[in-house]
Amino acid sequence: MTIATLRDLYIDQLQDIHSADSQARAVTVKLAEAAENPHLDSALHAGVEGIERGMEAVASILARHDAAPREGHCEAMAGLVREAQHHAVDSDISDAGVRDAMIIAQYQRMTHYAIAVYGSLVAFAQRLGYEDDAATLEACLSRTRDGDKHLSEIATRDVNRQAA
**Alpha-helix runs per DSSP H in the chain:** 6-34, 38-64, 75-84, 96-128, 131-154, 160-163
What's the average model confidence in pLDDT over 13-35?
96
Contact present, 1 and 12 (Cβ < 8 Å): yes
Q: Over 90: is that where the pLDDT of 72 sits?
A: no
Q: Please state, in angstroms and as integers, the Cα–Cα distance from residue 118 to each residue in 15, 103, 147, following that order.
A: 12, 22, 14
| pLDDT band per the 50, 70, 90 thresholds, residue 2 | confident
Q: Is the pTM of this model over 0.85?
A: yes
Q: Over 80: is that where the pLDDT of 146 sits?
A: yes
What's the average model confidence in pLDDT over 18-31?
96
C-alpha torsion 18→22→23→29, nearest 10? 150
What's the average model confidence in pLDDT over 159-164?
94
Domains and CATH numbers, the chain: 6-163 (1.20.1260.10)
> For residue 159, what is the DSSP state?
I
